[in-house]
């Protein structure tokens, strides 16, 4: 025992020496982030700076171990934290503790028209990312819904830049309140999956600034987002992950973005462009990892050894790598080295409740003839039909795929709500086959047999709830490939027609992240757009169908009657998906996207942007406009609940320029508010219109401008359901 005494006696001396040494500034959290960044940067070697600028594994990048600066770890999102993958291999690592909560898809969040719900969403998903020790959550996505064929539309926030801007900011603030960086994506013009790696997009300056950039701008300037992901596609000849116009001139210079630009995985193509054109962190270029014939594929990234060689040779200035390392250090100090960030939580009952609330608020009642909904408690038999009534919707879809603690299916939700008092029976009706990411999944089912079984069940049931729509297979709502057509797949049209022949009491629940063609719409009495509702999807659907929750969602994009009614598609292949020779593409629809196209070109939609019904009736009255001392205009009006059911209404405000001398959309959304009203209650609503609400982008001046003259302010329940209007002169 005595032989250890000298060592034990030495421990206090070691401790005293350690405590007497001054803590490096970069490790001193009493210093500002910028002081710590400067100190760390001055202590780093050139090799260490370069090593920070590229991946070290599929989802991580290096810190500086010598200085005690940790790595960055990232996770796919934005609807939940992705399951763990192997370090160097694109497959799930089969951990037993990485099951998460599935939150509804962002189309559902957009349909809520509710910014406080967006912050609740971001905070909850950020808590899960923090618990899993992630530095960056790769989301949200705010690319614009330009066509109904885009395979990733379900990950985005709809067709309107104002709506997306108002929802992305609170989402980001919620995520980052946990010390986890949100990563807004895909910057920019990534509105399709066809040829996504190299389609070369050209768009007018006006459409770029009025339609495709506002949500990104809001994420940076208002949301203070800490990271931005570059897109795969090209913009005017240069890939977006190293595009001087987008990243240097607009994002960093004009918007003063101080965070990190991260490439989409495999989105980098050139060392010089990556160095000089705004990229900070390269991810995923050779993500076969150690299976590559190269000893370490990560060293072969464009911003790895090739970058270091050009720095050492003087072909690239050293201030370039210093700027990249500075931004990455700033991100590390905001996240991984932020000692004050909370610990987070994972797959809790509270998070499930948040997921259910979002699903409830986003679900849209598209149609309810003869008030077939809500389903009465006196119902005795319900036929639930459709593969989507039982199919997992958290599996598939590409990078947003999740491994969840549990997932309530629509069938389970309906049984939970009605099963004690009614006979609830199920028939599959149609089949699509297993999820395949990179090919079309063949169906192993006998389609005729499935349809016959479903029709027989429908004939003997009091009510039919057909749960159909799309799924997350390739060529559906899925990353990597766009949809092949606008119609419902897998024989659902024929199934629905046959069911209607034997039972007229049909409720169609559409599970999708995209609009679908509905040639039978007039024959179906009730239609509900349910989106991808996440962990609590089935219970939320039952909440709406039963009337336990009054539907209040509004469409965040237009449903065209037919595909050719969509602006981008109607203008030919050059407009969508682009020319096969060189994959050149021109956004010929310009500023006329979604309802702007339909309303300005007088093309009636199947369901308009902002549409959504309720189980009660709302009345609007008493619109007044007041010019405030700060130059803003306040629109004030009254909403009254004239029905017998309490509920939320989304009041929407649009502006119309009278006698415009420039080409403008017929109406533009510039304000909205979700208002809860008890049965019989009335409330006064006020919406502020600032000067930006009336501006357009002047291409000659390359700046925003306001056209003088008269404007009509329109208030109502959708882009086409206007109840109040009044003019004002600027």
**Residues with catalytic annotation?**
264
Q: How many CB atoms lie under 10 A from the CB of residue 57?
A: 20
Pairing of strands 381-385, 463-469: parallel
Rounded to whole angstroms, the Cα distance separating 635 from 227 reads: 36
Length of the chain counted residue by residue: 730
- Kindly list the distances between the CA atom of residue 63 and the CA atoms of 44, 227, 296, 305, in Å, as whole numbers in the listed order: 11, 17, 18, 17
Rounded to whole angstroms, the Cα distance separating 591 from 584 reads: 19
DSSP character at residue 314: T
Q: Which of helix, strand or coil describes residue 423?
A: strand
Rounded to whole angstroms, the Cα distance separating 33 from 327 reads: 11
CB of 173 closer than 8 Å to CB of 119: yes
Rounded to whole angstroms, the Cα distance separating 592 from 587 reads: 10
Q: What is the dihedral of CA 594, 595, 598, 601, to 10 degrees?
A: -100
DSSP character at residue 559: B
Q: What is the dihedral of CA 491, 492, 498, 499, to 10 degrees?
A: 150
DSSP character at residue 90: E
Residues 6+ positions from 657 with CB-CB distance below 8 Å? 664, 694, 707, 709, 710, 711
DSSP character at residue 693: G
Taking the alpha carbons of 253, 256, 260, 265 in that order, is the dihedral positive or negative? negative
Helix (H) or strand (E) holding 123: helix 115-131
Q: Which of helix, strand or coil describes residue 653?
A: strand
Rounded to whole angstroms, the Cα distance separating 69 from 46 reads: 16
- Kindly list the distances between the CA atom of residue 469 and the CA atoms of 21, 476, 505, in Å, as whole numbers in the listed order: 65, 10, 19
For residues 159-189, one letter each, b for 16 or more C-beta atoms within 10 angstroms of the residue's C-beta and e for the rest, the string is: bbbbbbbbbbbbbbbbbbbbbbbbbbbbbbb
Rounded to whole angstroms, the Cα distance separating 157 from 165 reads: 9
Q: Which of helix, strand or coil describes residue 462?
A: coil
CB of 685 closer than 8 Å to CB of 639: yes
Rounded to whole angstroms, the Cα distance separating 603 from 170 reads: 34
Q: Which residue is associated with the tokens 């996240």?
A: 335
Rounded to whole angstroms, the Cα distance separating 257 from 226 reads: 8
Rounded to whole angstroms, the Cα distance separating 151 from 194 reads: 9
CB of 712 closer than 8 Å to CB of 719: no
Show the tokens assigned to 293: 């014939």
DSSP character at residue 153: G
Rounded to whole angstroms, the Cα distance separating 93 from 530 reads: 32
Show the tokens assigned to 143: 């690319």
- Kindly list the distances between the CA atom of residue 77 and the CA atoms of 26, 62, 93, 378, 546, in Å, as whole numbers in the listed order: 30, 21, 17, 42, 31
């Amino acid at each position: 025992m005595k032989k250890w005494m000298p060592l034990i006696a030495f421990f206090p001396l070691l401790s005293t020496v350690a405590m007497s040494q001054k803590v490096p500034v970069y490790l001193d959290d009493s210093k500002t982030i910028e002081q710590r960044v400067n100190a760390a940067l001055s202590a780093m070697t050139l090799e260490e700076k370069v090593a920070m600028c590229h991946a070290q594994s599929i989802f991580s990048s290096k810190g500086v171990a010598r200085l005690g600066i940790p790595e960055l770890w990232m996770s796919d999102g934005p609807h939940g934290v992705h399951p763990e993958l192997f370090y160097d291999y694109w497959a799930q690592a089969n951990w037993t503790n990485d099951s998460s909560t599935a939150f509804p898809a962002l189309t559902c969040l957009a349909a809520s028209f509710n910014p406080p719900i967006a912050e609740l969403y971001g905070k909850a998903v950020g808590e899960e990312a923090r618990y899993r020790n992630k530095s960056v959550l790769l989301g949200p996505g705010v690319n614009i819904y330009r066509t109904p064929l885009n395979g990733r539309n379900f990950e985005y926030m709809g067709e309107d830049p104002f709506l997306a801007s108002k929802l992305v900011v609170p989402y980001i603030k919620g995520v980052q309140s946990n010390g986890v960086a949100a990563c807004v994506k895909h910057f920019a013009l990534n509105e399709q999956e066809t040829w996504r790696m190299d389609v070369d997009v050209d768009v007018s300056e006006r459409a770029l600034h009025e339609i495709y950039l506002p949500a990104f701008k809001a994420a940076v300037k208002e949301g203070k987002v800490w990271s931005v992901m570059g897109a795969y596609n090209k913009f005017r000849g240069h890939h977006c992950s190293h595009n001087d116009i987008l990243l240097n001139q607009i994002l960093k210079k004009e918007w003063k973005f101080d965070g990190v630009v991260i490439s989409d995985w495999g989105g980098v193509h050139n060392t010089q462009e990556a160095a000089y054109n705004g990229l900070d962190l390269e991810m995923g270029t050779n993500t076969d990892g150690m299976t590559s014939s190269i000893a370490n594929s990560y060293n072969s990234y464009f911003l790895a050894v090739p970058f270091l060689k050009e720095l050492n040779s003087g072909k690239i200035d050293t201030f370039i790598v210093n700027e990249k390392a500075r931004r990455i250090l700033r991100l590390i100090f905001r996240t991984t080295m932020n000692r004050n960030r909370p610990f987070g939580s994972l797959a809790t009952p509270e998070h499930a409740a948040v997921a259910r609330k979002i699903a409830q608020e986003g679900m849209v009642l598209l149609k309810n003839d003869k008030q077939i909904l809500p389903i009465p408690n006196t119902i005795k038999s319900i036929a639930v039909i459709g593969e989507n009534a039982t199919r997992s919707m958290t599996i598939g879809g590409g990078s947003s795929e999740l491994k969840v603690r549990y997932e309530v299916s629509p069938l389970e939700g309906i049984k939970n709500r009605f099963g004690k008092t009614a006979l609830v029976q199920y028939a599959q009706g149609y089949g699509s086959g297993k999820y395949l990411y990179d090919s079309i999944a063949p169906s192993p089912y006998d389609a005729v047999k499935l349809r016959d079984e479903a029709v027989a069940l429908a004939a003997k049931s009091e009510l039919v709830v057909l749960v159909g729509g799309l799924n997350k297979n390739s060529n559906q709502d899925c990353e990597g490939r766009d949809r092949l057509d606008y119609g419902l797949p897998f024989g659902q049209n024929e199934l629905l027609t046959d069911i209607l022949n034997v039972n007229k009491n049909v409720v169609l629940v559409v599970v999708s992240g995209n609009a679908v063609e509905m040639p039978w719409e007039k024959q179906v009495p009730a239609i509900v757009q349910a989106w991808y509702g996440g962990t609590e999807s089935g219970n939320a659907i039952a909440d709406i169908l039963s009337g336990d929750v009054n539907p209040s969602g509004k469409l965040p994009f237009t449903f065209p009657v037919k595909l050719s009614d969509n602006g981008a598609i109607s203008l030919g292949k050059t407009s969508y998906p682009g020319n096969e020779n060189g994959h050149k593409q021109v956004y010929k629809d310009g500023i006329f996207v979604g309802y702007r196209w339909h309303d300005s070109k007088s093309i009636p939609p199947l369901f308009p942007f902002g549409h959504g019904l309720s189980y009660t009736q709302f009345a609007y009255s008493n619109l007044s406009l007041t010019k405030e001392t700060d130059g803003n205009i306040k629109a004030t009006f009254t909403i009254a609940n004239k029905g017998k059911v309490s509920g939320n209404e989304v009041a929407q405000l649009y502006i119309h320029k009278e006698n415009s001398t420039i080409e403008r959309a017929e109406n533009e959304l510039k304000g909205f508010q979700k208002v809860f009203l008890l049965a019989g209650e009335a409330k006064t609503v006020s919406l502020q219109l600032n000067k930006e609400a009336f501006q357009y982008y002047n291409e000659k001046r390359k700046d925003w401008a306001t056209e003088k003259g008269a404007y009509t302010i329109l208030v109502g329940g959708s882009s086409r359901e206007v109840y109040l209007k009044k003019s004002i002169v600027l």
